[in-house]
Amino acid sequence: MSNKPDNPSAGFPVVALLPVIAIGIAVYYLTFRIGIFLATDYFWYEKAIALLLLLAETFILFHGMGYFLEIFHVVMRRRSLAAEEPPLPPLVEYPPVAIIVSSFKEPLEVIEATLVSFHNLTYPNKHIYFLDDTRYDLSGDDAARMVAYRNDVDALCRRIGVPLFRRKWRGAKAGMINDFLAFTEGQGREGFEFQSYGGASPTRDKYIIVFDADQNPFPRFVEPLIARMERNPRLAFIQTPQYYTNFETNRIARASGFQQVVFYEYICEGKSIREAMFCCGTNVIFRREALLDVGGFDETSVTEDFATSLKFHLRGWHSAYRNEVLAFGMGPEDLGGFFKQQFRWARGTVGVLRGIIPLLLRNPRRLSAAKWWEYLLSGTFYFIGPVFLILVLCPILYLFFDVPRFLANPEVYLLFFLTYFVLTLSTFYWTLGKRGYRSRDLLLGQFLMSITFPVYLKASLSALLGIRSAFIITPKGTSQALPWKDLWAQLGLLFLTVSAAVWGINRLIFETGGKGGLTTNIVWCLYHAMILSTVFYFNHPEEKGKR
């Protein structure tokens, strides 16, 4: 994660102009495509396929415009001296801060490293708490092993001197934090258990900083965040980025880290400028008053952070993002772990979208247009799974069955979509390159996201249908290949793309007409095959000789 800012004076005309050009091309192409779709006399089945393709292209253009607008807002903000915030004043007073971590059956060595890093924080008025959310009553677990684990957690907290809180399990991480808040408010509930290791008693701290069990903050994590929170009493939370340290020896951790780079750079900065930044669940500071005002964390979603952010904004609270690496942690280390993480994020985000849309339709004035736009962008992002599948299948269908006929006209692609595609990729890699990221590394992140399409598809469908799912933690400290049968969707689609490309080449040799359409769709199939083939690379995540 690069902390080096752009040079706002150098390159401003290009950086500001490219998003405008890209958005103009996108709007023109979309208008043209809709016109073709409405005017062409398709068969019913061809009409259905063409509609799916149009919706997929609309999704890409919609999110492309959203990304370019974030770049534009960031550039304009940095160019405007009037918009720049004054330097944060040094802290004179140090309001009390609770540093908490909620853990569900995390490895002891991971917990210990995190708790030790909390003690190294230089902020003087801090209170550290370990929230053990492990379920010790599950019938499928080995009882003796779970008793031993519980005793080890007690011994660890006693040795380090960190107070330990447990309660009767409910609501996963959101329920745990809410129960802890209730406990510090003096509300005694059945099953509450507090061990005051280190001699500390629970206090009503003004701020609460939440970390995942594997996230280790740098010593100066707290001070700049408190200074900013103190300056703005309506600021509910400040989010900081995640940075993975296990990327050097593990392909999944490296690719997932660079996938997050795209989000934590321009997108988060743009959302923060438009007062629409949402919480990401870790490395984040909250104002207790704001949490209590919205009734605590939302316990109805597996992405309680995203859902709670909406509650803050609906109640008129503000949010912010600080683009500075202030903590480091561990990324998922194999495809199984990454898929579990992505399923949870996608399932929860699309689930929240189900509530956003009717809320927008019933009362559009509850939020500003900018906030609604940002929530719609975030809430629909994980539809990238079905969108990718549609984009891969359409060239296959054309090469085998000549449908939809629109794909027989490559001039449209060459004139508009290809122009937009090239401009989009160039701007994407160039702008992130200005912050020190290499295109090769960013490509890894995009490839990993692409081969996750079955997970996004399943998560989106389950969320839209209202099918509940359990909160699944991302495994840490393990790395193993998935059985190939578990990757049947990726491998099956790879087989279809290669077969279609071979069949298309055969048609190109022996057929006399439609050379342009055949060539264009063969190229798309080969491009998609290249992306899907990275499943072989990622399913062997450990890199030899780097341990």
pLDDT in tens, 223-248: 999 999 999 999 999 999 999 888 88
Q: What is the pLDDT of residue 11?
A: 45
Distances (CA, A) of 315 to 290, 373, 408: 9, 18, 52
Quick one: 399 exposed, middle or buried, by C-beta within 10 A (0-12, 13-18, 19+)?
buried
Q: Which of 68-72, 106-110, 497-501 has the lowest mean pLDDT?
A: 68-72
Nearest alpha-carbon partner for 470 in 147, 110, 138, 146: 138
CA end-to-end distance (rounded Å), the chain: 22
Show the tokens assigned to 315.
């109640």
* pLDDT surpasses 90 at 141: no
Contact 265, 321 (CB under 8 A): no
Domain at 97-254+278-331, CATH homologous superfamily: Spore Coat Polysaccharide Biosynthesis Protein SpsA; Chain A (3.90.550.10)
Question: How far apart (Å, rounded) are the C-alpha atoms in residues 269 and 276?
Answer: 10
pTM for this model (two decimals): 0.89
What 3-state class would DSSP assign to 202? coil
Contact 399, 507 (CB under 8 A): yes
Q: What is the chain's alpha carbon radius of gyration, rounded to the nearest angstrom?
A: 25
Q: Which of 260-269, 337-346, 485-494 has the lowest mean pLDDT?
A: 260-269
DSSP bridge pairs for 39: none
Distances (CA, A) of 233 to 97, 220, 238, 323, 367: 15, 22, 12, 21, 20
Nearest alpha-carbon partner for 366 in 294, 318, 316, 298: 316
Stated length of the chain: 547
Q: What is the pLDDT of residue 10?
A: 45
Question: How far apart (Å, rounded) are the C-alpha atoms in residues 456 and 347?
Answer: 8
pLDDT in tens, 264-291: 988 999 999 989 999 999 999 999 999 9
Residue 206 carries which DSSP code?
S
Task: Using pLDDT thresholds of 50, 70 and 90, give the confidence band for residue 15.
Answer: low
What 3-state class would DSSP assign to 332? coil
Q: What is the pLDDT of residue 92?
A: 85
Distances (CA, A) of 146 to 70, 284, 408: 47, 30, 62
Question: How far apart (Å, rounded) are the C-alpha atoms in residues 422 and 515?
Answer: 23
Residue spans of the domains in the chain: they are: 1-84+255-277+332-547, 97-254+278-331
* pLDDT surpasses 50 at 154: yes
* pLDDT surpasses 70 at 61: yes
Higher pLDDT, 83 or 24: 24
- Over residues 422-446, the mean pLDDT reads 82
Cis peptide bond N-terminal to 404, omega within 30: yes
DSSP 440-485: HHHHHHHHHHHTTHHHHHHHHHHHHTT------PPP-S---PPPGG
Task: Using pLDDT thresholds of 50, 70 and 90, give the confidence band for residue 414.
Answer: low
Show the tokens assigned to 3.
């902390």
Contact 181, 308 (CB under 8 A): no
- Over residues 89-109, the mean pLDDT reads 92
DSSP bridge pairs for 166: 193
| Helix ranges restricted to H, 162-234 | 172-184, 222-231
Show the tokens assigned to 377.
């962008």
CA dihedral 493, 494, 498, 499 (to 10 degrees): -40
* pLDDT surpasses 50 at 81: no
What average pLDDT is seen over the chain? Answer: 87
Question: How far apart (Å, rounded) are the C-alpha atoms in residues 338 and 476?
Answer: 10
Task: Using pLDDT thresholds of 50, 70 and 90, give the confidence band for residue 41.
Answer: confident
Q: What is the pLDDT of residue 80?
A: 61
pLDDT in tens, 344-384: 999 999 999 999 999 999 999 999 999 999 999 999 999 99
* pLDDT surpasses 50 at 515: yes
Residue % of the chain over a pLDDT of 70 = 90
Task: Using pLDDT thresholds of 50, 70 and 90, give the confidence band for residue 82.
Answer: very low
Contact 133, 169 (CB under 8 A): yes
pLDDT in tens, 437-457: 888 888 999 999 999 999 999
* pLDDT surpasses 90 at 480: no
Contact 304, 173 (CB under 8 A): yes
Q: What is the pLDDT of residue 507?
A: 94
